[in-house]
Amino acid sequence: MALLLGKGRYRVRLAQSPQDVAAAQQLRMLAFGTDKPDQDEFDPLCAHILVEDARADEQLVCCFRMLIMADGTEIGRSYSAQYYDLSALTGFNGRLVEMGRFCVHPDWTDPDILRVAWGAMTAYVDQNNVEMLFGCSSFAGTETEDYLDAFAMLKYRHLAPKRWLPRVKAPDVFRFATRLRRRPDAKKAMLRMPPLLRTYLMMGGWVSDHAVVDRKMNTLHVFTGLEIGAIPQARKRLLRAVVG
């Protein structure tokens, strides 16, 4: 079964078969509102993590995928490299994992699902000696107006270190770091921040200085990085408590 962890009603395991991956693609279709199973050329390259509800006949309630890289020289084969110029990260010396296609079943709103998912990520990172976790964090829709406080918060508090900062590659972007002059309303910013991105930021994560307007997926997304060594020790203890 390749169980990563079990916590309360939830079980987290690695996909073991084409049927498991197909179930993840079906959940992604439901969560992303597409009209056919969400799949791409990266699926065969990734480990797929499945969160199932033991109290609901092992219903798949959350999934995401992980692509492991030996070091920054492999960053060009990531999903994110289609949308961002990641040449600054080619100099990263440790192992990296790209996390993508994170989604939760729209009928399940239990906040424990996100906590268990992060616990599983922690287990995966520990088992594979990963030093950086990264991916694209998505805002629903392609209109920026509702998210201006959130983007202002990212500008003033959470931009990537200059040595790792992604550069613009996509043709349609919102350059919030240069365009926004407003100071963020912290409450409004956090209300509009996607839950996954909020968790990254709480652990010391950082973002690109621009958002990509992805009309195919109907999202705005920012490149998000998290150096494992920078996660506060108290936060690491909480994550490993979930694993334990």
DSSP letter string, 166-199: -EE-SSSEE-HHHH--PPP-HHHHHHHS-HHHHH
> What local confidence, expressed as pLDDT, does residue 4 receive?
73
* Domain, as residue range, for 201: 3-235
> What local confidence, expressed as pLDDT, does residue 8 receive?
84
> What local confidence, expressed as pLDDT, does residue 101 receive?
96
Residue 241 maps to a domain? no
**pLDDT, tens digit, 9 for 90 and up, residues 136-182:** 999 999 999 999 999 999 999 999 999 999 999 999 999 999 999 98
> What local confidence, expressed as pLDDT, does residue 242 receive?
63
**pLDDT, tens digit, 9 for 90 and up, residues 217-231:** 899 999 999 999 888
**pLDDT, tens digit, 9 for 90 and up, residues 3-14:** 777 778 999 999
Task: Using alpha carbons, list the distances in angstroms from residue 129 to 38, 125, 152.
Answer: 30, 6, 34
SS3 (DSSP) at 110? coil
Q: Confirm if 49 and 14 have CB atoms less than 8 A apart.
A: yes
Burial class (CB in 10 A: 0-12, 13-18, 19+), 126: middle
Q: What is the CATH number of the domain that holds 28?
A: 3.40.630.30
Residue 12 maps to a domain? yes
Query: pLDDT band for position 191 (50/70/90)?
Result: very high
Residue 244 maps to a domain? no
Of residues 244 and 191, more confidently modeled: 191
Q: Confirm if 84 and 102 have CB atoms less than 8 A apart.
A: no
Residue 166 maps to a domain? yes
The percentage of the chain sitting over the pLDDT mark of 90, rounded to a whole number, equals 79
Residue 28 maps to a domain? yes
**Does the predicted model carry a pTM greater than 0.85?**
yes
Residue 127 maps to a domain? yes
Residue 240 maps to a domain? no
Count up the domains in the chain and report the number.
1
Query: pLDDT band for position 243 (50/70/90)?
Result: low
Query: pLDDT band for position 186 (50/70/90)?
Result: very high
Residue 48 maps to a domain? yes
